Structure formats: C-alpha cells, structure tokens
Amino acid sequence: MLHIQYKLDRSKKHGIGLFTNEDLEKGQLVYSASPTLDVNITQEQFDSLSEKERDEVRWWGFFDAPSQKWHVDFDVSKFINHSSGATLTQDVNHTDAHLVTTRKVRHGEELTQNYLEFEDEKSLKARGIAL
C-alpha cells in the first residue's frame, strides 16, 4: 500500500509513471506490501494458469527470486518505473516489499526503483525494459 500522496501521469521514462504529490524526506516509507490484498503465487500455481493469465502476471507483476514466488500488487505501485538512479529502494531491514526514498524527493517528481533489486537482467530485457 502507498503511504504518500501521489498521482499517475505521463512518464518520460516509460508510459505512465507514479509521481509524488508531496515533498518526501530521505528514508521515508513510500510503499509496503499488503499481505491481504497483494497476490503472491508459487511457481506451481503460476504454471497452472492459462497463457493469457501468465502474460498478465508477467506484465503487472514479477518473479521475486528471494521468496521464489510471483508477486502482483493490488494498487498503483505497479506504475513505479525502472531507473538506475532510482528515487526508491527496498529497505534492507524488511524481507517483504518495503520501499523508502533514496534521497529527498520533491513534489511532482517521478518515483522510480532499480528493478535489478528484485529481478535479473535477462528477465528485464525479456520484458523490454532498457537498462
């Protein structure tokens, strides 16, 4: 779930992006996973889906190597685009998704994450994400 004021808007990085509607401090919590609303499925469950369903999971979610599960968020956090100079990072003190700011982020800036924190280069390239 998102813990900040935000908006969706056109991104210079990729399609639609998630932008902050407030100033954020370095280390501020922006997102945490919802055990009730987010979807986590095993590889076996993923394999049992139709090809169309697997495509949807690949498009909106990702395979989380540490947990060995496919993860899809229920909210608009799926619009956090990739950047090597990301404004968000996974808080290392948490095993579940817990995104904090890497620096001060100003009102109107796009929120980004370096996807290499949870996905490998091969998977990103297969999804058409430029590194």
DSSP-derived 3-state class of residue 69: strand
Position 130 scores a pLDDT of 72
Position 54 scores a pLDDT of 95
Judge whether 26 and 101 are in contact, CB under 8 Å: yes
Q: What is the pTM of this model?
A: 0.81
CA–centroid distance for 2 within its chain:
11
Query: Which of the residues in the chain have pLDDT under 50?
Result: none
Position 88 scores a pLDDT of 97
How many alpha carbons fall within 13 Å on the CB side of residue 7? 8
Residue-wise pLDDT tens digits, 90-117 = 998 987 789 999 999 999 999 999 888 8
Class of domain 1-34+74-117: mainly beta
Domain boundaries, the chain: 1-34+74-117, 39-72
- Among candidate residues 100, 86, 102, the one with its CA nearest the CA of residue 2: 100
Position 70 scores a pLDDT of 92
Judge whether 64 and 70 are in contact, CB under 8 Å: yes
